[in-house]
Structure 1
Amino acid sequence: MDQSENNNIYGNVKECVIFFENGTQKVFSSSRKKGELTVYVLNHRIGDTGFVKMVLKHYKGVNSLPEFAARCKFNSTKTFTRHFKQKFNTTPKQWLLLIRKNEVVYYLENTDYPLKKIVSLLGFTSTSHLRDFCIKRTGLTPEKIREMKREGYT
Structure 2
Amino acid sequence: MAVQSTVTTQLQVSLNTQIANWSVLYTKLHHFHWYVKGPSFFTLHAKFEELYDEAAGVVDQAAERLLAIGGEPISTLKEFLNTTTLTEASGEKTTNEMVASLVKDYKQLNEELKALAALAESENDSVTHDFGIELVEKNDTHIWMLTAYLGE
Highest RCO, 1 vs 2 (Cα 8 Å, sep ≥ 6):
2
TM-score scaled by structure 1?
0.28
Greater fraction of residues in strand: 1
Greater fraction of residues in helix: 2
TM-score scaled by structure 2?
0.28
User: Larger Cα Rg: Structure 1 or Structure 2?
Assistant: 1
